[in-house]
Amino acid sequence: MNRLVALVALALAVLLTTTPATARAAPLEVVASFSILGDLVREVGTDRVRVTTLVGPDEDAHGFQPRPSDARLAREADLIVANGLGFDPWMERLARSSGHPRAVVVASEGVTPLKDTGDHRHSHGHGHNHGAFDPHAWQDVANVRHYVANIAAALAAADPDGATHYRENANRYGRELDALDADIQTRLAAVPDASRKIVTAHDAFGYFGHTYGVRFLAAAGVSNHSEASAAGVARLVRQLRREAVPVVFIENVGDPRLIDRIAREGGARLGGKLYSDALSGPDGPAPTYLKMMRHNLEVLVEGMTGADR
Ligand SMILES: [Zn+2]
């Protein structure tokens, strides 16, 4: 009898401790194509989502080849988030071939895309899919408001019970984006026009330059980092000298050696490291989108206003 009581008590205890956990919905499984998107999904979803990014911190999404494990993640996901604009076509292919009718959220939906002007100096001869648009829309903070709205709407559609949660997070984050946008404009306003002319490794800052009034020249195009041709590099070096471009920046993705050479031959200073297409790891200076943009702002302003050469 005592034993029976003990068993019943045990069963009750197990029920009581496990019921709340099983009654609470499991987090929504979201797969995002690259680290910046993953961060935005986390900001909007917080504890209601579990986010996996296929292209991680400091990794290059251009020309990424999904692994079999990525296909499995896409198959098991509740939601798949892609940038669009030709940045991550492999993500949409992965979603299609995963055999699931999962909606792919194209986070950049609604932004006004900048044309890929072709005003960059690299060879197109390696079979890369060169899109009609510049995909790096997140470099204009106003565009990220579209990203966040699209992500919030998609999360709410996949998890209607969380709709209010997602909307409130999106609103809170939107205010942080507004503050960031204002800070970028204020800081850059103090940089003289003649200094607002810089070189980066690949053409990732078109939106930033367009919105905030900085002219970016790039060694390679919008869709890859490594294919600057010898003739293109020579042309860029001549342009650096002719226009007295003061500073050249490396990026966290791609090979810094080319940029180092361009700076030396073009007679420009070497600035700090910009985070263009990927966040840093958690211990780096750019572990979130907001921190990435603030870090880039500091590096850019410091580079543009640094000591005369
Ligand atoms: Zn890029």
User: 124 — phi, psi (to 5°)?
Assistant: -105, 15
Tokens of 255: 């090979």
CA of 130 to the centre of ligand 1 (A): 12
Measured distance CA(158)–CA(114) in Å, rounded = 30
The alpha carbon of 70 and the centre of ligand 1 are apart by a number of angstroms equal to: 21
Q: How far apart are CA 212 and CA 183, in angstroms?
A: 11
Complete domains list, the chain, with CATH: 26-181 (3.40.50.1980), 192-302 (3.40.50.1980)
* Ligand 1 centroid distance, CA of 267 (Å): 25
DSSP strand pairing (49-55 vs 269-274): unpaired
- Residue 154 CB neighbours (<10 A): 24
Neighbours of ion ligand 1 (CB under 5 A): 204, 277
Amino acid occupying residue 75? R
* Cα 276 to middle of ligand 1, angstroms: 7
pTM: 0.86
Closest by CA position to 55, among listed 88, 89, 103: 88
* Residue 198 alpha carbon to ligand 1 centre in Å: 17
Please tell me the distance between residue 17's alpha carbon and the centre of ligand 1 in angstroms: 49
Distance 178 CA to ligand 1 centre (A): 24
User: What are the phi and psi torsion angles at 229 (to 5°)?
Assistant: -80, 160
Distance from C-alpha of 13 to C-alpha of 15, rounded to nearest angstrom: 5
Tell me how far the alpha carbon of residue 87 lies from the centroid of ligand 1, in angstroms: 8
For residue 129, what are the contacts with CB-CB under 8 A and spacing of at least 6?
Answer: 86, 89, 223
Contact at 8 Å (CB) between 300 and 247? no
User: Which tokens is 239 given?
Assistant: 């342009």
Walk along the chain (309 residues) and give the pLDDT tens digit of each residue: 566 566 556 555 555 444 443 334 699 999 999 999 999 999 999 999 999 999 999 999 988 999 999 999 999 999 999 999 999 999 988 988 877 656 789 999 999 999 986 544 333 333 344 568 999 999 999 999 999 999 999 999 999 999 999 999 999 999 999 999 999 999 999 999 989 999 998 899 999 999 999 999 988 777 665 567 888 889 899 999 999 999 999 999 877 888 899 999 999 999 999 999 999 999 999 999 999 999 999 999 999 998 544
**Contact (Cβ atoms closer than 8 angstroms) between residue 80 and residue 93:** no
| Cα 203 to ligand 1 centroid, rounded to whole Å | 7
Q: How far is the CA of 193 from the centre of ligand 1 (A)?
A: 26
Helices 141-158 & 35-45 angle (0-180, nearest 10) = 60
